[in-house]
Amino acid sequence: MDRIRRLPTGVVWALGTLPLALLVWDTLAGNLGIDPVRDIEHRLGRTAVYFLLASLCITPILRMARVNLVKFRRPLGLLAASYAGLHMLSWAVLDMGLLWSQMLKDIAKRPYLTIGMGVLVILLVLAATSSNAVIRKLGPVRWRAIHRWVYLAAPMAVFHWLLAYKIWPGKPLMILLAVAVLLAFRLPLLRRRVGLRAGSD
């Protein structure tokens, strides 16, 4: 485990660009199937959720397995925000064909799009306040208060995923369960149970 901890964060970045590289490869090679637009859009969105989930695993791993992977949390979060941004761009350009009026109306009127945009705004704010300089400027208390918004963004992201379907599909439901478990670790009651200090996140 110590060996993982000593890996440079560049490894996370390298692994993090892999899904994008694969997607570009599949697009160029024509591996995407009958409707590439949908596949590109959905894969980017799913990847964003997976990185968001990974970033939420860091604290429970620290508390329960006593393995400190905190230095990987920033790149994981930034990857989640980047994939969310690409997901939104693919929606706007490929899916909606930049039909601005319909896009704006839809975002205002359709809960799953309103929620999706809300998640993106949160993730972009967190990304923008993630540098050491900004952390110093804000101070730890305010910085932590801002970054707790991820606890809202994560379930909203999965909810956005679920709402785009006609039925309740299994996979995002399982992911929602995973998010619920990860967030439960942050509840004061459970935190005490697993020996977490109050005030840590």
Partner 1 sequence: AVEEPNSFEQITNYNNFYEFGFGKTDPADNAGQLTTNPWAVEIGGLVDRPGSYSVADLAPENAVEERIYRLRCVEAWSMVIPWLGVPLAGVLQKAGVQPGAKFVAFETLYRPEEMPEQRRNSMDWPYREGLRLDEAMHPLTILAIGLYGKPIPNQNGAPIRLVVPWKYGFKSIKSIVKITLTDRQPVTTWQSMQPREYGFYANVNPTVDHPRWSQATERRIGAGLLGGRQETLMFNGYGDQVAQLYAGMDLARDY
Cα–Cα distance for residue pair 176/199, rounded to 1 Å: 25
166 lies in the site for partner 1, by CB under 8 A: yes
Q: How far is the CB of 199 from partner 1 (least distance, A)?
A: 40
Instruction: Give 140-153 as a 3 state SS string.
Output: HHHHHHHHCCHHHH
With contact defined as beta carbons under 8 Å apart, do 70 and 12 qualify?
Answer: no
**141 or 167: CB nearest partner 1:** 167
97 lies in the site for partner 1, by CB under 8 A: yes
State the number of binding residues for partner 1 (CB under 8 A): 28
Q: Which of 163, 178, 183, 186 binds partner 1 (CB under 8 A)?
A: 163
27 lies in the site for partner 1, by CB under 8 A: yes
Q: How far is the CB of 115 from partner 1 (least distance, A)?
A: 11
Tokens of 190: 């459970």
Q: Which of 98, 121, 181, 184 binds partner 1 (CB under 8 A)?
A: 98
**53 or 115: CB nearest partner 1:** 115
**58 or 115: CB nearest partner 1:** 115
Classify burial at 104, counting beta carbons within 10 Å of its beta carbon; exposed 0-12, middle 13-18, buried 19 or more. Answer: exposed
106 lies in the site for partner 1, by CB under 8 A: yes
95 lies in the site for partner 1, by CB under 8 A: yes
Helix crossing, 36-60 with 10-28: angle to 10°? 160
With contact defined as beta carbons under 8 Å apart, do 129 and 72 qualify?
Answer: no
Site track 33-52 with partner 1 (rule: CB under 8 A), x = hit: xxxxxx-x------------
Cα–Cα distance for residue pair 89/98, rounded to 1 Å: 10
Cβ contacts of 144 within 8 Å, gap of 6 or more: 201
Could you say which DSSP state residue 30 is in?
Answer: T
Interface with partner 1 by CB under 8 A: which residues? 27, 33-38, 40, 93-99, 102, 105-106, 109-112, 163-167, 169
